[in-house]
Chains A and B, each alone.
Chain A
Amino acid sequence: MAAPKVGTFATGLVPLPAENVDTDQIVPARYLKVIDKAGLADALFHDWRFEADGSKKSPPFVIDEPRYAGHGILVAGDNFGTGSSREHAPWALGAFGIKAILATSFADIFKSNALKNGILPIVLPAPLHATLMQIAKDDLAATVTIDLATATLTTPDGAAHHFPIDLFSQKMLLDGLDELDYIRTQGGKIEAHETSHPGTINTLQPNTPR
């Protein structure tokens, strides 16, 4: 699979003013029985979006509201992505068209998984986050520009705000480089480490008979 590549993009906002949105809401566990990554767009926020019979809720959940159609930035509450390590969460967000999430913090594993799939988990200070949440609710025409190279987010008023990003992830995403390919260039170091740390774990063979 080609590594994701991210540069500059401008898109609309979708407000999701809930704290601690967990991965069981992002993709309920019963959609984890897949053996590939495709087709998860409908699993995204499934139980918030769909009735038991599979029809969309009325009124629809925010990401299904026609006025937010095509908007690629989710403005979410604090600690977004708490819970499980399922990478199905960013797969589903990506399949739906979400390119970035703005929150005051993210759960660690979700953040790592999102970056590996080219979805930017952007941590904002509370005042700016509150402003953007309000804009997301009030101004449907508003767009925000995100430039990964400079790690800046430009609000509809034209003000540019720097956001923190892991420098390694930034470079990988800008250049469309693959993390596993990079690790594989370190073969010598891996071998040296293995030689100097033989360890005592062998999953293939028990040391003592049962």
Chain B
Amino acid sequence: MHEVTSPQAFTGLRGRGLKVRRPDRTVATADHSIPTTPRNLPIADEMAAAQVKQLEANCAEFGVPLHGWESPNQGIVHVIGPELGLTQPGATIVCGDSHTATHGAFGALAFGIGTSEVEMVLATQCLLQRKPKTYLVRVDGTLRPGVSAKDIILALIARIGVGGGTGHVFEYAGSAIRALSMEERMTICNMSIEGGARAGLVAPDETTFAYLKGRPHAPQGADWDAAVARWRTLTSDEGATYDKEIVIDANTLEPMVTYGTNPGMGLPISGTIPNPADESDPAAARALTRALEYMDLRAGDSIIGRPVNTVFIGSCTNGRISDLRLAANVLKGHTVAKGVRVMVVPGSADVKRQAEREGLDTIFRDAGADWREAGCSMCIAMNGDQLAPGEYAISTSNRNFEGRQGKGGRTFLASPLTAAATALTGVIADPRTLPGMSR
């Protein structure tokens, strides 16, 4: 749990005189409303400070382990769960946060819930659920250089729309998914909710076990062997049928960028901004017209070359060490474009330490980027990190809704590679044109 969607749940428990049933299955962190400025400074926003204080008081009162504000394990809830080895195959994981779907990368059933449900889980470790429908997303083939996991998920959502997976759980399968690292799988599962599915998962395999082995809360010794044997059984049957299926050819994918005000409004980076006049559905035409108005973009223009004011690299979608390595690799030895603010926000304190051990912070700082403390930062813009009205950002986060990154702000969603390439030029740039990324 985190500070934003839990306080009213604890108030509920208190009102009923109930305890947390399983503190040993509960974990908390502060990520949404905390600033990403140096930790030795107090939280300037009084409401945010009160919210974090409330989380600390609630966790202390109810015996819930908290990786809080000053903890070495603090970070975005969906980054620290896997990092600590708490996210395990076969688990059911819930959090008052729609990006809980992230944990599905481990073959866990993980989904976002409301605060009333947080209270139910705290009190009983149970939720009442209807069985969701199943949706197979098979991604076959090999990603081309410059194309990454973020582009797979943005391509899926562009194809099925933001409501395409409503009522379903995605299972991501196919050779391209099997070839992904755990962090890349997390990027994909993370945005299941942007495709309308409350959860999305990948069957566990050797990649999953290798990631988990030796992590602080992963089983060890004989328990580890028994767990892995059990986890190996968590695959869909050969020939299993699904309520819906889609096949995506990884070979043909390009880097993806969104141009509109929901994550389904995305296109291959070589594409042009669509025209509402070409939409057959009047509701879609209306939505597109409104989105282009908000974004101040013109139908028919290329998405490449659109200027940005800010580059945001971070979030539960793309704030892990492998994301930062990709971005650092692009920025190394270069300087970000003049007048462009580049924010790099590690997903957790642990990611930050690791990046600093590898010297990535120096690469970012030398390039003129801002290296910050861990948190949700400008993905949610309720913590001081935000766009000014009218500003454009290219962002590695998950939502481009109106005002999501600050009232009046305009968001292009993209991969860390595309964001970093854009940081160098100040206009949306195709990462495949970077050295070492030949087509």
Contact = CB atoms under 8 A, between A and B. Distances in A.
A1 interface: yes
B290 A113 contact: no
14 contacts: A19-B286, A20-B162, A24-B404, A30-B382, A30-B407, A34-B7, A47-B403, A87-B96, A87-B115, A109-B111, A112-B117, A180-B16, A186-B124, A208-B216
Main secondary structure of the interface of B (DSSP, over half): loop
Contacts of B4: 32-33, 86
Contacts, number: 205
A18 interface: yes
Interface of A: 1, 17-20, 22, 24-25, 28-30, 32-37, 47, 52, 77-79, 82-87, 90, 105-109, 112-113, 116-117, 166, 168, 179-180, 182-184, 186, 190, 194, 199-210
Nearest to B94: A85
A194 B88 CA distance: 17
Nearest to B118: A87
B98 A109 contact: yes
B196 A82 contact: yes
**Residue among A18, A79, A166 with max Cβ neighbours from chain B (10 Å):** A79
A111 B262 CA distance: 19
Contact of B65 (A17, A34, A183, A204): A204
Q: How big is the B interface, by class?
A: 35 or more
Contacts of B307: none
Contacts of B404: 24, 29
Contacts of B12: 1, 180
A96 B119 CA distance: 24
Contact of A201 (B25, B113, B128): B25
B287 to A, nearest CB: 5
Contacts of A184: 123-124
Main secondary structure of the interface of A (DSSP, over half): loop
**Residue among A1, A108, A199, A210 with max Cβ neighbours from chain B (10 Å):** A108
**Residue among A22, A179, A182 with max Cβ neighbours from chain B (10 Å):** A22
By Cβ-Cβ distance, the 9 closest A-B pairs, closest first, are A79-B163, A87-B114, A85-B112, A113-B114, A206-B216, A33-B47, A35-B7, A203-B27, A29-B382
B411 to A, nearest CB: 11
A202 B24 contact: yes
Contacts of B26: 203
B244 interface: no
Contacts of A209: 216
